């Protein structure tokens, strides 16, 4: 392919992406709005704590919930005997819930945001049957292209099913949404953050499967 034709293809591709962003409810932007609100005043969450066997050991609801990591100090010595101080992400997380503090480590936790209208909140798919076997139809082009398309689709938000299990693999909950965006925060240990149709869902210390809804229809 000539360079001029390749350049035209790239321009068309970028224009399509910009049109999609401008005409869609972008999952990434919705997620950033939640981040800003959470930093300023906190978000309204139902917080479920689970043990390794998937038993719900505690539920806390808070209207102003914040989650942050803790850092620990460590010393290191180089080959010349010079001591330096390093800071590492601790496995202990601190929750601020309506002005109170909860520190915890080791448990599986699911933070599900509660909407102003409870009917519009994140809901578990109670009757969802986890498939034992999935066979795809062989669609797609080439991996490097599809991989980048999927990254763009994630920014916009796509229909997905989220299957959450305990650390021993026991199924805990299944969630789903039409516009799902996900990311791995670099400032929270063992945590994945999702935005499901405009609402936040944090999964901490859990096994999970995040799969396109089209694969299991």
Are 64 and 42 in contact, with CB atoms under 8 Å apart? yes
Residue 53's SS3 state is coil
Scored b (16 or more CB within 10 A) or e, 82-103 reads: eeeeeeeeeeebebebeeeebe
Question: How much is the pTM?
Answer: 0.76
What would the pLDDT profile of 100-156 be if each residue is shown by its tens digit? 999 999 999 999 998 877 666 788 898 888 888 888 877 777 888 888 888 888 888
Residue 6's SS3 state is helix
The CA distance from 196 to 178, in Å, is: 7
Residues 6+ apart with CB under 8 A from 107: 49, 50, 51, 57, 204, 205
Per-residue pLDDT at 205? 95
Per-residue pLDDT at 112? 93
């Amino acid at each position: 392919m000539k360079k001029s034709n390749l350049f035209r293809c790239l321009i068309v591709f970028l224009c399509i992406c910009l049109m999609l962003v401008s005409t869609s409810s972008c999952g990434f932007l919705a997620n950033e709005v939640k981040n800003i609100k959470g930093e300023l005043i906190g978000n309204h969450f139902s917080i479920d704590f689970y043990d390794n066997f998937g038993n719900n050991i505690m539920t806390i609801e808070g209207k102003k919930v914040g989650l942050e990591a803790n850092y620990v100090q460590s010393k290191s010595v180089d080959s010349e005997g010079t001591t330096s101080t390093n800071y590492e992400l601790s496995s202990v997380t601190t929750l601020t819930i309506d002005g109170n503090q909860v520190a915890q480590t080791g448990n599986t936790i699911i933070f599900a945001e509660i909407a102003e209208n409870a009917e519009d909140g994140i809901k578990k798919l109670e009757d969802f049957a986890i498939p034992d076997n999935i066979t795809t139809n062989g669609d797609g082009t080439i991996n490097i292209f599809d991989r980048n398309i999927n990254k763009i689709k994630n920014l916009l938000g796509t229909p997905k099913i989220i299957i959450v299990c305990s650390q021993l693999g026991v199924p805990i909950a299944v969630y789903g949404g039409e516009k799902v965006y996900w990311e791995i925060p670099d400032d929270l240990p063992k945590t994945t953050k999702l935005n499901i149709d405009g609402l936040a869902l944090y999964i901490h210390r859990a096994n999970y499967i995040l799969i396109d809804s089209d694969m299991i229809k």
